[in-house]
Structure 1
Amino acid sequence: MKNILVVNSSLSSANGNSNKLTSKLVTRLKSEHSDLTVVERNLNDMNISHLSMEEMIAWRTDKSTRTSAQEALAALSDTLIAELQQADAIIIGMPMYNFGVPSTFKAWIDRVARAGITFKYTETGPQGLLANKKVYVLAARGGKYAGTPKDSQSQYLNDVLGFIGLNDVEFVYVEGLAMGGDAAESAWSFAEQQLERLSA
């Protein structure tokens, strides 16, 4: 593991609990791998817009015939995909908002899930094109949902990441953070143990 891509999406940026989780794991990994290269994307600071038809048309237009405006539109997706392709491992900081992923993360997914580049359609269905990459999802939640029918977030992440070939996904949850001091303290203690195991 030499190249790590960190994708954070908390509205609270560095103060967000999911961001704190990713920071803890990166610190541990850096202490054990001196040659580690880390690229970090804070989606909240990037202010990525919703995907537009104009942007999709720019992707589908051959590079040799794109206008300057189309080049600019395609540049964001091209850059984000290149970061994924170059990464050996991806660390995703994932808060839960209204039982789903942050809209900024969905906007990121819309830029990196591109037919012919990160997935393709075959006679037997879609095939992901990003292979041999480990993904760690560090999920922070105010309530407790993991393993219950209300945890639609984890299923979505497994599905959408698998769609582009990222099938080796491991979750670490810190839950119950809004359920009182004791619950939050216990949640962080458990998460720390999990992070220690991941970086061992």
Structure 2
Amino acid sequence: MSLFRLDTSILPGTSASAEIADLVETEWTAAHPGEPVIRRHLGADPLPADAWALATTAGFTPEPERTPAQRDALALAATLAEELAAADAVLLAVPLYNYGVSQHFKTWADLVIAAVALTPILKDKPTVLATVRGGGYGSGTPREGWDHSTPYLRRILADMWQAELTVIERELTVAAVTPGMESLRGLAARLHTDALDAARDAGRALATR
């Protein structure tokens, strides 16, 4: 058994998404002591920004005419895809940034797609997504509909790659430290507790798959 874990926070020391993922991982490793956890932290070690373009253009270039950079990009894409394909379970921690998906995740996903095209690489594979948002984006809030990350993540992971997906969400992660959000701090604390409880439940479920 093996677990593949992907993190994308640019603040690994204080990451709200990592806090959730840590609990999921703890439950998984408790059930599978000694089994490998393959890690990739895109926030701390980002992928080259031009890798996707190089891998994509390489696909339209005859092999003898590919540049060294194109070959390196294709090899990177294949490595990323193999990490997913080889894992028995998948855990991803992906915060919302600027109302959209993390550029680190987007580059990673695009490279995997460059390697596998439309292949459902996570078909029926148990996968947990931990995603967090600093503000509130729910029904009736001023920014309802501004979360352009979570729907995209679902499209890629569940619809395109066909993962058996569990999503853990937490909002108002910055309420405790942001002036003007004092009235939301009680709700933020409850949402925090709910997310941690959901993480433990998801980790136990992931461990039994």
Q: Which category describes the TM-score, using the shorter chain as reference length?
A: 0.7 to 0.9
Match of 2:149 in 1: 153
Deviations for 1:13-67, whole angstroms, at most 9, x for unmatched residues? 2421111211121112111222432111100122223345433233455768755
* 1:171 correspondence with 2:158: no
Contact 1:77/1:111, CA 8 A, preserved across alignment: yes
The question of 1:57 aligning with 2:57 is answered: yes
Q: 1:53 to 1:198 in 2, by over 3 A?
A: closer
TM-score normalised by structure 2 residue count: 0.79
> How many Å apart are 1:163 and its aligned residue?
5.0
TM-score (norm 1): 0.82
Instruction: Please say if residues 56 and 114 of structure 2, whose CA atoms lie closer than 8 Å, have aligned partners that are also in contact.
Output: no
**In the alignment, does 2:96 pair up with 1:99?**
no
State the Cα RMSD in Å: 2.5
How far, CA to CA, are the matches of 1:146 and 1:154 in structure 2? 12
The alignment partner of 1:119 has SS state of: coil
1:113–1:164: 8 Å Cα contact kept in structure 2? no
Unaligned 5+ runs, structure 1: 121-127
Q: Deviation string for 1:127-151 (max 9, x for gaps)?
A: x344121221111211222565333
Distance 1:83 1:118 in 2: 16
1:150 partner SS: coil
Q: Which has the higher contact order (CA 8 A, sep 6+)?
A: 2
1:165 and 1:59 map into 2 onto residues whose CA distance is 21
Q: Tell me the CA shift for residue 189 of structure 1.
A: 1.1
Match of 2:132 in 1: 140
2:42 aligns to what? 43
What runs of 5+ residues in structure 2 fail to find an aligned partner? 177-184, 205-209
Q: Partner letter of residue 195 of structure 2?
A: A
For 1:131-178, what per-residue CA distance to the aligned partner results, in whole angstroms no more than 9, with x for missing partners? 121221111211222565333322111112245423422111121122
- State the one-letter code of the partner of 1:30: T
> Are the aligned partners of 1:118 and 1:164 in contact in 2 as well (CA < 8 Å)?
no
**Partner letter of residue 156 of structure 2?**
V
* 3-state SS, counterpart of residue 113 of structure 1: helix
CA distance in 2, matches of 1:57, 1:34: 43
Taking only the aligned residue pairs, the percentage that are identical comes to 24
Structure with the higher strand share, 1 or 2: 1
